[in-house]
Amino acid sequence: MIIQSERVWLYGSFFPAHITVANGKIIDINVGLIADADYDFGLRRIVPGFIDMHAHGGWNYDTNEDDAAGLRRWLSHLPQEGVTAFCPTTVTDDHPILLAALRNIAHVMHHPSAGAEILGIHLEGPFLNPLYRGAQPEKAIRQASLTDFAAYEQAAEGQIIAVTLAPEMDPGHTLTRYCKEKNIIVSMGHSDASFEQALEATGNGASSVTHVYNGMAKYVNREPGLLGAAWQLDGLYGELIADGIFVSLVSAAHLFHAKNDDYIIMISDSMKAKGEAPGRYMFGGEPMILGEDGATRRENGVLVGSTLQLNRGLYNMVERAMVPFSSALKSCTINPARLLGIDDRKGKLQRGYDADIVVLEDNYQVNTTFCKGEITWSIN
């Protein structure tokens, strides 16, 4: 199968090119157009598939639910926004609920269906600081425990790929060190950590900051905290909710100015209300309200999560925050692939990589999505 366009994203620029795909892989890329391509997308932009490494649900499914059909429904919808791979992300909850949720995701991973690929599980909590819990249920928050984490690993059948924790809730960085040894990403979040605590956690294996600006102390000139670490430390990744609600567009642009753009990761942080009509839903055992602006909030007004689609996040960063297209695109393609350790097969259009390909209209609407060479979404 040959896919072509006047604008194929190759090494930081658009070029006329055609891509040959077979057995789910890109087997050849050639500059220029040919007469007998199977799919000719004209002037539409062809870019790598998007990767969302922090998402809690969508289409009336919550990752904490023991619901295989719901998870499959969610992953089947993700290609509509150009997402070809993702990490279902749990939230703090009672031990039995988390164990059942992890078993459910592992089961679906062993029996994949059409749609976005599950790369692994992102465990957000329960090892968080109650001061910055946000919408995470306080009753289930606790200090980091190797015993608890071992139970989660067993339930997940070894599929945990990332964990968000507050470094000050991990005495001696015991869990951080353990995860580092097992190549599990440790991301610092929902934390009151000082800059020094964040620096020390990074030295012991933490490699990312969860949703920068959210779930952490405000930056103060004499107390830069975790936010200061996210800005300052080279090689430390930082997630960004790119909906313009959780983080102002000015602050989003500041992050791109402050950090090397190889280390910023766009996330949706989406909830089960994504894809649904505004109204009342449940999250973490507590009610939340989906407003007309696309954000979900507790009844007291506390933000819970977004319903962002990553193609709209790309639009927000480029057209509203005025971030260069190349920087914004990296944040949802090669950067998460690199952090997740899969940049040898995902994150760019290159021979030998998975044929995860997105075709974008000029208004950032997704025209067509290929997941490993199969069309999983088409506007036509």
* Size of the chain in residues: 380
Residue 141 to residue 148: CA distance in whole angstroms: 12
Q: Which tokens in the block code for residue 90?
A: 């749990």
124: annotated binding-site residue? Answer: yes
Q: Are strands 303-306 and 39-40 parallel, antiparallel or unpaired?
A: unpaired
Check if the beta carbon of residue 4 is closer than 8 Å to that of residue 19: yes
Active-site position among 62, 170, 269, 356: 269
C-alpha angle 75-76-81 in degrees, rounded to nearest 5: 80
Cα 221 to Cα 215: distance, rounded to the nearest angstrom: 19
Whether 243 is a known active-site residue: answer no
**Coil, strand or helix at 219:** coil
CB atoms within 10 A of CB 177: 15
Q: Is 190 annotated as a binding residue?
A: yes
Distance CA 102, CA 66 (A): 8
What is the number of other CB atoms lying within 10 angstroms of the CB of residue 73?
17
Task: Determine the Cα–Cα distance for residues 17 and 379; give it in Å rounded to an integer.
Answer: 22
Phi/psi at 121 (5° precision): -100, 135
Q: Using CA atoms, how far apart are residues 80 and 351, in angstroms rounded to an integer?
A: 25
Q: Are strands 185-188 and 45-48 parallel, antiparallel or unpaired?
A: unpaired
211 annotated to bind ligand: yes
Give the integer Cα–Cα distance in Å for 277 and 283: 16
Rounded CA separation 358/268 (Å): 17
Catalytic residues: 269
Q: Which residues are annotated as a binding site for Zn(2+)?
A: 124, 190, 211
- Known binding site: residues? 124, 190, 211
